[in-house]
């Protein structure tokens, strides 16, 4: 039975892979697909779809890729949304275009909702819920939300996973991994961006998002982190009515943070909300190292007494002590205009290419800092400044942690909401006490002694392992079992192109031989004839003509003369 399921899954993955290639070809990415070594599938796609339509051909590459992702469905839309937070990986034009991607999918039927709830909770719906509103509050690619009431009377919101979405996502991930693997094998320089690593990181993210028990535990972790903060509220999770595909939470009735008129009608203080929101987010980042990764205005509600409630905890970011230290150090170095320190931190924390031009990097970073030198601190938008900083270093193929990228994007959203609520909102002023505290902690006696102990322990472990490792190397050399594995990259495409060239050359030589042989027979003027031509000569010229036309067509179709 397991073998049958595995075979079915593999068939679905192959079909999905072929569909992805066809859609990309439809939107004019034939050259990129040929670079991946899937020219045969591209040829079939051209015959099926023809060349790109004129209206598609007029669009930019970023616009065509956005349309392709939308046509490919929820998984690819999610991938595009995540890539929109990675200006260090994709060009800025693609970032701007992918920001337009939305989960524009129709909701699924109420009957499917009831079947999903019953199957997941293992009992009839009536055992848990007194009523469920059949009209969803919201619908997205992975789930939709319904308002309901428990049999004990509490108003709740039920998040129900879309039926069959797990199988769809898994087949999409398999197709993406196949394409990413081809990119690493066939496209020179792609290893700088680690396509397979990006897809695997995306797979972990979307699988976590589809597991609603993780989201429930995330809500409770945020609540525990803010137990002493009276103006932060987190919905209660009802675990008895929840599972991996069902999440039942307390229903929150509040005012959207983006609705200025409604905030005023309820007597809420925009300036206070802006200050509290920034403070709570910076608390998440710099103190807890665990922050909400999707803080757009639709996920922020304001309750009475200017209490803030966040919704949708499917995407979260994490910063360990090393990343938090890097963030505070890089901000401090930028403020001090110390380019040597900035470059040193980047060399330590980022993935650096061997060809990095540090002199040019320092020059561009100095120009970047000079652009902010005359601007008053209260007018500096920290999030956008960090985005600009990342755009510069991405030109030098320096890759930063995805969580730092998510943080930067979230800072932009937080600052945007803050300035909408309070035109005089100053993120730098909100950030200052956290930076001062972080710097003090970094040089505190307890932190210094802990770092020294960690360094000494690392060197001690190294010293312990050196004799054993040297002995192992010597033993392997003595047994002739010492091996050095070398991995080549980019030769597959060269080999394929070389084989194709050899085949064309061989066909050309056969073609020339047929023409020469037919010409010799023509001059002998012997044997049976057709239209006064020797049969063998006539046949030879005819076959040579067909082969020649086919060869010319193949060369023209490949676009490589």
pLDDT digits (tens, 9 = 90+) for 210-219: 999 999 999 9
**Which of 68 and 537 is assigned the larger pLDDT?**
68
> For residue 358, is pLDDT > 60?
yes
> For residue 392, is pLDDT > 70?
yes
Q: What is the mean pLDDT of residues 252-276?
A: 91
Residue 213 belongs to a domain: yes
Whole-number pLDDT of residue 303 = 94
Kindly report, residue by residue over 219-256, the tens digit of the pLDDT.
999 999 999 999 999 999 999 999 999 999 999 999 99
**Which of 47 and 127 is assigned the larger pLDDT?**
127
Q: What is the mean pLDDT of residues 354-366?
A: 76
- Confidence label for 1 from pLDDT (cuts 50, 70 and 90): very low
Residue 548 belongs to a domain: yes
> For residue 31, is pLDDT > 80?
no
Asked whether residue 414 falls in the same domain as residue 340, the answer is: yes
Residue 228 belongs to a domain: no
| Catalytic residue (choose from 294, 329, 403, 426) | 294
> For residue 280, is pLDDT > 90?
yes
Q: Which of 443, 460, 478 is the last residue of a domain?
A: 443
Residue 469 belongs to a domain: no
Whole-number pLDDT of residue 127 = 93
The whole-chain average pLDDT of the chain stands at 80
Q: What is the mean pLDDT of residues 339-352?
A: 69
Asked whether residue 244 falls in the same domain as residue 188, the answer is: no
* Secondary structure element (H or E) that encloses residue 44, with its range: helix 39-49
Whole-number pLDDT of residue 111 = 93
CA dihedral 198, 201, 206, 209 (to 10 degrees): -150
Residue 294 CA to residue 312 CA, distance in Å, equals: 8
Asked whether residue 379 falls in the same domain as residue 519, the answer is: no
| CA nearest to 343, candidates 372, 364, 370 | 364
Give the total number of structural domains in the chain.
Answer: 4
Asked whether residue 301 falls in the same domain as residue 403, the answer is: yes
305 is catalytic: no
Residue 536 belongs to a domain: yes
Asked whether residue 133 falls in the same domain as residue 87, the answer is: no
Q: What is the mean pLDDT of residues 248-267?
A: 91
Residue 448 belongs to a domain: no
Asked whether residue 47 falls in the same domain as residue 117, the answer is: no
Cα Rg of the chain (Å, integer): 31
Whole-number pLDDT of residue 7 = 43
Residue 295 belongs to a domain: yes
Whole-number pLDDT of residue 120 = 93
Whole-number pLDDT of residue 440 = 77
Asked whether residue 241 falls in the same domain as residue 181, the answer is: no
- Confidence label for 5 from pLDDT (cuts 50, 70 and 90): very low
Whole-number pLDDT of residue 329 = 80
> For residue 416, is pLDDT > 70?
yes
| CA nearest to 309, candidates 219, 419, 412 | 219
Q: What is the mean pLDDT of residues 51-67?
A: 76
Residue 334 belongs to a domain: yes
**Which of 396 and 119 is assigned the larger pLDDT?**
119
Asked whether residue 32 falls in the same domain as residue 179, the answer is: yes
Least confident of 112-116, 428-432, 548-552: 548-552
> For residue 390, is pLDDT > 50?
yes
- Confidence label for 491 from pLDDT (cuts 50, 70 and 90): low
Kindly report, residue by residue over 77-88, the tens digit of the pLDDT.
888 888 887 776
Kindly report, residue by residue over 497-553, the tens digit of the pLDDT.
666 777 777 777 777 777 777 777 766 666 676 666 676 677 777 777 777 777 776
Whole-number pLDDT of residue 305 = 93
Asked whether residue 401 falls in the same domain as residue 331, the answer is: yes
Whole-number pLDDT of residue 337 = 67
Whole-number pLDDT of residue 135 = 93
Structural contact between residues 32 and 21, judged by C-beta atoms closer than 8 angstroms: no
Q: In the 3-class helix/strand/coil scheme, how is 337-382 assigned residue by residue? A: CCHHHHHHHHHHHCECCCCCCHHHHHHHHHHHHHHHHCCCHHHCCH
> For residue 205, is pLDDT > 90?
no
pTM: 0.72
Domain containing residue 503: 491-558
**Which of 148 and 459 is assigned the larger pLDDT?**
148
Whole-number pLDDT of residue 526 = 66
DSSP per position, 258-285: T-HHHHHHTT--HHHHHHHHHHHHHIII
Asked whether residue 151 falls in the same domain as residue 242, the answer is: yes
Cα 212 to Cα 79, 161, 217, distances in angstroms: 19, 8, 9
Asked whether residue 189 falls in the same domain as residue 205, the answer is: no
Asked whether residue 22 falls in the same domain as residue 165, the answer is: no
CATH number at residue 246: 3.30.200
Q: What is the mean pLDDT of residues 62-84?
A: 85
């Amino acid at each position: 039975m397991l073998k049958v399921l595995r075979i079915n899954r593999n068939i679905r993955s192959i079909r999905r892979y072929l569909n992805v290639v066809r859609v990309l070809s439809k939107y004019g990415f034939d050259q990129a697909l040929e670079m991946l070594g899937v020219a045969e599938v591209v040829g079939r796609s051209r015959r099926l779809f023809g060349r790109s339509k004129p209206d598609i051909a007029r669009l930019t590459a970023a616009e065509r890729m956005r349309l392709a992702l939308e046509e490919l469905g929820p998984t690819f839309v999610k991938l595009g949304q995540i890539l929109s937070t990675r200006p260090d990986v994709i060009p800025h034009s693609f970032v701007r275009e992918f920001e337009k991607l939305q989960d524009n999918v129709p909701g699924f039927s109420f009957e499917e909702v009831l079947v999903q709830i019953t199957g997941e909770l293992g009992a009839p719906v009536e055992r848990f819920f007194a009523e469920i509103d059949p009209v969803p509050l919201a619908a997205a690619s992975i789930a939709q939300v319904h308002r309901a009431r428990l049999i004990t009377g509490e108003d709740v919101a039920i998040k129900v996973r879309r039926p069959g979405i797990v199988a769809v996502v898994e087949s999409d991930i398999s197709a993406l991994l196949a394409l990413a693997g081809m990119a690493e094998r066939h496209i020179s320089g792609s290893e700088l961006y680690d396509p397979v690593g990006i897809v695997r990181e995306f797979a972990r993210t979307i699988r976590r998002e589809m597991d609603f028990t993780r989201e429930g535990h995330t809500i409770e972790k945020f609540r525990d982190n803010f137990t002493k903060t009276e103006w932060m509220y987190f919905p209660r999770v009802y675990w008895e009515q929840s599972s991996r595909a069902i999440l039942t939470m307390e229903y929150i009735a509040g005012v959207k943070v983006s609705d200025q008129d409604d905030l005023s009608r309820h007597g809420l203080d925009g300036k206070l909300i802006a200050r509290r929101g920034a403070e709570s987010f910076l608390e998440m980042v710099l103190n807890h190292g665990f922050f909400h990764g999707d803080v757009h205005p639709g996920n922020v509600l304001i309750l009475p007494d200017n209490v803030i409630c966040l919704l949708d905890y499917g995407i979260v970011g994490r910063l360990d002590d090393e990343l938090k230290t890097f963030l505070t150090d890089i901000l401090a170095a930028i403020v001090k205009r110390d380019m040597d320190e900035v470059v040193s931190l980047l060399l330590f924390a980022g993935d650096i290419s061997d060809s990095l031009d540090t002199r040019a990097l320092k020059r561009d970073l100095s120009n970047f800092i000079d652009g902010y030198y005359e601007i008053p601190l209260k007018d500096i938008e920290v999030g956008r400044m960090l985005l600009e900083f990342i755009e510069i270093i991405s030109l030098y193929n320096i890759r930063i942690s995805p969580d730092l990228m998510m943080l930067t994007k979230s800072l932009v959203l937080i600052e945007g909401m803050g300035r909408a609520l309070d035109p005089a909102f100053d993120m730098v002023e909100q950030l200052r006490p956290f930076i001062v505290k972080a710097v003090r902690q970094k040089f505190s006696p307890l932190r210094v002694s802990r770092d020294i102990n960690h360094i000494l322990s690392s060197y001690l472990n190294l010293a312990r392992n050196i004799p054993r490792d040297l002995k192992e190397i010597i033993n392997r050399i003595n047994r002739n079992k010492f091996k050095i594995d070398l991995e080549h990259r980019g030769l597959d495409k060269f080999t394929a192109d070389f084989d194709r060239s050899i085949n064309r050359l061989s066909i050309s030589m056969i073609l020339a031989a047929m023409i020469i042989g037919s010409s010799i027979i023509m001059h002998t003027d012997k044997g049976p004839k057709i239209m006064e031509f020797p049969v063998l000569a006539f046949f030879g010229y005819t076959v040579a003509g067909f082969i020649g036309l086919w060869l010319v067509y193949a060369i023209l179709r490949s676009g490589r003369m």
